């Protein structure tokens, strides 16, 4: 009897910890709750380890990720997989066996807030393996440096160096990649890097080979407004909570973590900040760029007076290499044909929607692929053990677009 009571108490406690009120439209809410409970456990444990002085919380998280998710480069009957380097940056390469003589090519940057994850993770390995087989394409998954050891612009420089090497005649010939069918892509923070690289190389007239397309998966693109409708609507929706995104930005930009509440209140982008011009503000004016069904009842949060000098303290906030949404229209117009995936229940939804709108206004051919029941990170959960329904649909949609446009 006592064991039954104890079991019931433990079960109730576990259910209490796992249960989280979620929007009615989100895909498979219980799967998302379980994911969230797992992630919260890891985050809380890493914070405790950090406070006790054993190691940095990010190191603890990456150790867990490495232990649980990282796998060796193993070839299969359809795809040859090797670990190599691209422009001096560690890269996992997926080459389809057989097929056409010249292959399509995709360089891919993983997500993880510029601080977590790896292209060697099982989820990314399976994604790239599927892309290689389904597209008959060479996929190069880049392991750029991570925070806290590396801060902006280190990750950007790694992504740019790898991309330049990817587009070089030597690499294209070695891997038999068609120079007219190359793509830059990434998800979340990796989507940020892909967008920044597409801007830089699109405007570089010295490049003899340029990307044909860019494919951005729920990208993070700005850090001046943490009160867009999607940030307001989804601030308590897993797996990317609004405070987490502010924390990732501060780590990436090498800034003091004490600025987190300043960013969350939009006190860093107040009207009394002299370094933020009206032109800059117009580039993330969601009241003009988002359709009514995304704006909903939400209102802009613009502080009259804020924390003085934050933009001077953290210049990366205004650097287009870190915040591609702030790029000039002329720069955007030189970037390749674009695919931008967004998810309704994602704080970053409006970053992607605004970027798609700005690309379109600049004359770029854009496909905006919005998943009404999607959440941040869903695509990498397409496989077991989660096997998310929206994850599978989003992955198939992404690969289908590449097949039709690359």
CB 193 within 8 A of CB 206: no
Distance CA 184, CA 215 (A): 6
Q: Is 228 inside a domain boundary? A: no
Q: Is 71 inside a domain boundary? A: yes
Place of tokens 């307001």: 232
pLDDT at 17: 59
Nearest to 55 by CA among 77, 70, 64, 268: 64
Q: Is 34 inside a domain boundary? A: no
Of the listed 163, 376, 388, 394, which one is catalytic? 376
**What are the E-state strand segments in 247-405?**
337-345, 366-375
pLDDT at 1: 52
C-alpha distances in Å from residue 203, one per residue of 103, 207, 220: 25, 9, 21
3-state secondary structure of 345: strand
Confirm whether 110 is a catalytic residue. Answer: no
Confirm whether 41 is a catalytic residue. Answer: no
Angle separating helix axes 29-51 and 2-18, nearest 10 degrees: 90
Q: What are phi and psi of 326, to 5 degrees?
A: -85, 5
Mean pLDDT, each 10-residue run in order, the chain (406 residues) = 44 55 93 90 82 84 84 95 98 91 96 96 97 97 97 98 98 97 98 98 97 98 98 96 97 97 98 95 97 96 94 97 98 98 98 98 98 97 92 98 98
pLDDT at 13: 42
Q: Is 255 inside a domain boundary? A: no
Q: Is the pTM of this model over 0.75?
A: yes
DSSP string, 235-262: TT-SSS-HHHHHHHHHHHTT--GGGHHH
Q: Is 142 inside a domain boundary? A: yes
Q: Is 90 inside a domain boundary? A: yes
Q: Is 201 inside a domain boundary? A: yes
C-alpha distances in Å from residue 90, one per residue of 48, 112, 141: 31, 17, 9
pLDDT at 65: 79
Of the listed 27, 188, 388, 394, which one is catalytic? 188
pLDDT at 101: 87
Q: How many helices (H) and strands (E) does the chain have?
A: 17, 8
pLDDT at 74: 96
Nearest to 207 by CA among 276, 261, 160: 160
**Residues ≥6 apart with Cβ < 8 Å to 274:** none
Confirm whether 188 is a catalytic residue. Answer: yes
Of the listed 187, 346, 369, 373, which one is catalytic? 346
Q: Is 56 inside a domain boundary? A: no
pLDDT at 8: 39
pLDDT at 119: 96
CATH number at residue 365: 3.40.50.1820
Number of domains forming the structure of the chain:
1
* CA dihedral sign, ordered 201, 116, 70, 345: negative
Token pair of 69 as six digits = 């998710």
Domain, as residue range, for 389: 65-222+319-405
Q: What are phi and psi of 251, to 5 degrees?
A: -65, -45
């Amino acid at each position: 009897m006592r064991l039954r009571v104890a079991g019931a108490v433990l079960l109730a406690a576990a259910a209490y910890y796992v249960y989280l009120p979620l929007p009615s439209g989100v895909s498979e809410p219980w799967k998302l709750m379980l994911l969230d409970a797992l992630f919260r456990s890891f985050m809380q444990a890493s914070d405790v380890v950090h406070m006790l002085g054993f190691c940095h919380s990010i190191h603890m998280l990456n150790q867990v990720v490495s232990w649980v998710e990282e796998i060796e480069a193993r070839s299969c009957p359809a795809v040859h997989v090797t670990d190599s380097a691209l422009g001096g940056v560690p890269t996992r390469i997926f080459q389809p066996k057989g097929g056409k003589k010249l292959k399509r090519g995709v360089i891919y940057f993983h997500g993880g807030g510029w601080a977590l994850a790896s292209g060697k993770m099982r989820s990314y390995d399976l994604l790239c393996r599927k892309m290689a087989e389904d597209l008959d394409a060479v996929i190069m998954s880049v392991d750029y440096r991570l925070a806290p050891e590396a801060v902006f612009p280190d990750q950007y420089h790694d992504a740019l160096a790898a991309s330049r090497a990817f587009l070089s005649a030597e690499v294209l010939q070695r891997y038999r990649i068609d120079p007219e069918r190359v793509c830059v892509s990434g998800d979340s923070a990796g989507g940020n890097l892909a967008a920044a690289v597409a801007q830089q190389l699109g405007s570089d007239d010295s490049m003899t080979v340029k990307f044909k397309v860019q494919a951005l998966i729920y990208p993070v693109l700005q850090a001046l407004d943490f009160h867009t409708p999607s940030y307001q609507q989804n601030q308590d929706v897993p797996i990317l909570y609004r405070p987490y995104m502010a924390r990732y930005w501060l780590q990436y930009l090498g800034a003091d973590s004490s600025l987190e509440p300043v960013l969350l209140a939009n006190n860093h982008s107040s009207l009394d900040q002299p370094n933020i011009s009206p032109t800059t503000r117009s580039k993330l004016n969601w009241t003009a760029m988002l359709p009514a069904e995304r704006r909903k009842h939400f209102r802009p949060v613009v502080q009259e007076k804020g924390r003085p000098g934050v933009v001077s303290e953290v210049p990366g906030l205004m650097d287009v290499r870190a915040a591609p949404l702030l790029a000039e229209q002329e720069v955007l117009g030189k970037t390749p044909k674009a695919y931008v995936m967004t998810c309704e229940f994602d704080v970053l939804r409006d970053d992607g929607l605004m970027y798609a709108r700005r690309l379109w206004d600049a004359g770029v051919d854009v496909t905006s692929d919005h998943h009404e029941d999607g959440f941040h990170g869903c695509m990498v959960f397409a496989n077991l053990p989660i096997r998310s329904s929206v994850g599978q649909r989003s992955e198939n949609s992404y690969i289908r677009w590449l097949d039709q446009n690359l």
